[in-house]
Amino acid sequence: MTKLRVLVIDDSAYNRQTISEILNSHPEIEVVGKAYDGEEGLKLVAQLKPDLVTLDIEMPRMDGFTFLRIVMSKMPTPVIVVSSHSRKQEVFQALELGALDFIAKPQHHIAPDIANIREEIIAKALTVKALQPIPFSRISLTTPSRGDVRADYDKPRSNLEATRLVCVGASTGGPPALESLFKAMGTSPQCAFLVAQHMPAKFTRAFAERLNRMTSLDIREAEDGMEVYGGSVYIAPGGKHMELAKTSKQLILKLVDVVETDRYVPSIDRLFASAASSFEMSMLGVILTGMGADGAAGVRVVRQAGGRTIAESQESSIVFGMPKEAIQTGCIDETLPLGQIIERIAKFASP
């Protein structure tokens, strides 16, 4: 059995050691090197050629951003950011620069929450084994110029009832894919977008705000009881499930508390199922890159309700787990690379 070879980069000796112990505890993973900062990390990437790098953001001499810029241009290597909750915007900048995913580590030391993040660190490291050789520059992730950036939520909101609905589910590799999707969307005054992206609670608001600054659509983190209108995108908050419901007058969003047995949060299956039962007009369900099987049950319900379904192809998926599971249900109408999915959604949203 070939082990996944990992390089750990963190300026905290305690964190380097703890993350290394977590990874080495799995029989399929081996930590082959540890670096104090980005500068030392670059040398070890060239020397060791690891399968995966775990990367802190704030470090002396060379920070994580500079490391990412250099490594992705010269020695493309899968990178998972391990960052504290207080570094939301920095995490999304890292995702733009090519990081595959992130893990929210406690703000000070890992030890108090070791049981909570051990499984996540190992699971996300193992997803790299499923990666196919892909060019890391396949998606344009340039940040808009200042002139293109609009203040948070300063856009006029449509008061038009949505006559079309797009539900999107994503996990590992989802943030940059969603960014590419919504940056390419024009105004769609009669289409609403509901998004379930597996993400910790403290990151989804910053993620929604970041997306909102990059598009003409109104993008926001969902709130319980929020009314759903065309021309808007609603991001399920981390740590909650988001469902669509219909009152006598309006479509609204319901946030549902998570229970201990819930495997995927926010649940794509629950979002798709609730939308299929509440929305009576044209609906499209889309499963993007991600690990696990969330969304497979959801696409069945969408198809049974007469909606259309699309899954991202292995060609463009960072991790093909969720799309593959959805495809195997036999309930996917089209399997397409991300670029073509964006074209299909744009055509559906503005017929």
Return the C-alpha torsion angle 226, 228, 229, 232, nearest 10: 80
Chain segment 82-133, per-residue pLDDT in tens: 877 556 777 777 877 778 778 877 665 555 555 468 878 887 888 666 443 4
Give the C-alpha separation, 279 to 107, whole Å. Answer: 41
Residue 266 has a pLDDT of 96
Residue 186 has a pLDDT of 82
Give the C-alpha separation, 314 to 337, whole Å. Answer: 7
Q: Which CATH superfamily is domain 153-349 in?
A: Methylesterase CheB, C-terminal domain (3.40.50.180)
Domain ranges of the chain: 4-130, 153-349
The strand pair at 251-257 and 240-246 is best described as antiparallel
Residue 306 has a pLDDT of 96
Residue of 171, 188, 274, 313 marked catalytic: 171
Residue of 274, 294, 313, 317 marked catalytic: 294
Residues of the chain with pLDDT under 50: 115, 130-158
Residue 129 has a pLDDT of 60
Give the C-alpha separation, 220 to 309, whole Å. Answer: 24
198 is an active site residue? yes
Residue 350 has a pLDDT of 86
Residue of 51, 198, 267, 316 marked catalytic: 198
224 is an active site residue? no
Residues 42, 48, 51: CA angle, nearest 5 degrees: 90
- Can you tell me which residue has the tokens 């390089």? 7
Q: Which CATH superfamily is domain 4-130 in?
A: Response regulator (3.40.50.2300)
**4-130 and 153-349 share one CATH topology?**
yes
